[in-house]
């Protein structure tokens, strides 16, 4: 089977397509013929070796990408509600060497959810990490309520474009921050106001927000405090080690010194939140804006994502 992998950390230039032997599933595992793999910023950061010091993290050779959608073609036995021919979605844990940019994977039953007929494989593969981060941040952490004001930084990106849609669904007044080239795209997502960050500094606004959601970790709690309401919260995705540590420290300081809150998102990436995402997608609440690519184009996709000026999601078509 074909799989996109790398044998040493580095730039996208180290990516290569390998021919591997297909694996048979052990008890408790399913073999999935993959149709699509969703790319996320964490994928190119892993490629560069930024997570190599994390405990239990396995080094190269490694596959690429975590999020996937496909069809079960084999079961390894053991009690399960899964069945051959079932369309499924899931996300691999990032610690192992397997990747979703592959023709087949073997994955534990508990890392799969069934896909409804209304959701195609491309849409499904775009959802888990980015959609889950946006949903958990706004619904579970911020508890965004109707009528509240939310500022979404990086509103055109993977997490950001989902956040705009979720915030509008929850009745929020959405002010979206993006680059000039993405203003119209973000406006079409439903944003009430759009701020071009190359022309306007959101920290100098006179209005206040109940939630500031910093999806690319481009700002900080100290910068956002000025535009937060007295009990508002700043949410950081912890996109890299430095921003995760900064967000955690800000959370402690905020708890001790004010009613304002700083919240680092620690994604509970698993079936419960995937089912919530699929329900929202099935109802038309959120839609992934996707550019589909081939395995050979993943390197260029990573380079584009690293600039921080992406739009929506990039999904690798594998079928």
Highest-scoring range by mean pLDDT, 55-59, 82-86, 303-307: 82-86
For residue range 95-111, what is the model confidence (pLDDT) as tens digits? 889 999 999 999 999 99
- Alpha helices by DSSP H, 190-270: 221-224, 241-257
Those residues whose C-beta lies under 8 Å from the C-beta of residue 126, and which sit 6 or more positions away, are 38, 67, 158, 288, 290, 312, 313, 315
For residue 292, give both structure tokens: 């589909």
User: Alpha-carbon distance 48 to 5, whole Å?
Assistant: 13
User: Alpha-carbon distance 107 to 33, whole Å?
Assistant: 11
66: exposed, middle or buried (Cβ count in 10 Å: 0-12, 13-18, 19+): buried
> Is the model's pLDDT at 131 over the cut of 60?
yes
For residue range 76-97, what is the model confidence (pLDDT) as tens digits? 988 788 999 999 999 999 888 9
For residue range 204-219, what is the model confidence (pLDDT) as tens digits? 888 899 999 999 988 8
Residue 162 host element (H or E) = helix 158-169
Model pTM?
A: 0.91
Domains of the chain: 2-126+288-317 (3.90.180.10), 130-264 (3.40.50.720)
Between these two residues, 57 and 193, which has the higher pLDDT value? 193
Query: What letter does residue 22 receive in the DSSP assignment?
Result: P
Residue 36, φ and ψ in degrees, nearest 5: -160, 150
> Is the model's pLDDT at 238 over the cut of 70?
no
User: Alpha-carbon distance 148 to 76, whole Å?
Assistant: 49
Q: Tell me the pLDDT of the chain averaged across its residues.
A: 90
Residue 124, φ and ψ in degrees, nearest 5: -65, -45
Identify the pLDDT of residue 239: 52
> Is the model's pLDDT at 113 over the cut of 90?
yes
Identify the pLDDT of residue 251: 47
> Is the model's pLDDT at 258 over the cut of 60?
no
For residue 56, give both structure tokens: 């239990």
Closest to 229 (Cα-Cα) out of 151, 135, 130: 151
Residue 42: CA count within 13 A, CB half-sphere? 23
Those residues whose C-beta lies under 8 Å from the C-beta of residue 40, and which sit 6 or more positions away, are 65, 66, 67, 129, 130, 158
């Amino acid at each position: 089977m074909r799989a996109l992998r790398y044998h040493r950390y580095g730039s996208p230039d180290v990516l290569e397509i390998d021919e591997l032997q297909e694996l048979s599933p052990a008890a408790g595992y399913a073999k999935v013929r993959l149709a699509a793999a969703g790319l996320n910023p964490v994928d190119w950061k892993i490629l560069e070796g930024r997570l190599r010091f994390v405990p239990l993290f396995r080094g190269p050779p490694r596959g690429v990408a975590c999020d996937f959608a496909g069809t079960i073609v084999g079961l390894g036995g053991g009690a399960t509600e899964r069945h051959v021919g079932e369309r499924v979605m899931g996300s691999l844990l990032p610690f192992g060497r397997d990747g979703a940019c592959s023709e087949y994977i073997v994955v534990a039953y508990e890392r799969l959810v069934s896909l409804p007929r209304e959701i195609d494989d491309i849409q499904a593969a775009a959802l888990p990490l980015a959609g889950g981060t946006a949903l958990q941040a706004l619904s579970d952490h911020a508890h965004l309520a109707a009528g509240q004001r939310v500022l979404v930084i990086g509103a055109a990106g993977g997490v950001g474009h989902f956040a705009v849609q979720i915030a509008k669904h929850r009745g929020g007044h959405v002010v979206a921050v993006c680059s000039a080239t993405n203003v119209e795209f973000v406006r079409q997502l439903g944003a009430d106001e759009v701020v071009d960050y190359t022309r306007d500094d959101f920290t100098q606004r006179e209005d206040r927000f109940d939630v500031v959601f910093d999806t690319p970790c481009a700002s900080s709690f100290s910068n956002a405090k000025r535009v937060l309401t007295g009990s508002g919260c700043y949410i950081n995705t912890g996109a890299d080690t430095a921003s995760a540590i900064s967000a955690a420290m800000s959370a402690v300081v905020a708890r001790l010194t004010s009613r304002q809150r700083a919240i680092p998102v620690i994604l509970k990436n698993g079936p419960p939140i995937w089912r919530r995402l699929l329900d929202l997608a099935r109802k038309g609440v959120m839609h992934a804006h996707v550019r589909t690519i081939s395995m050979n184009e993943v390197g260029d996709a990573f380079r584009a994502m690293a600039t921080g000026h992406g739009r929506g999601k990039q999904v690798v078509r594998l079928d």
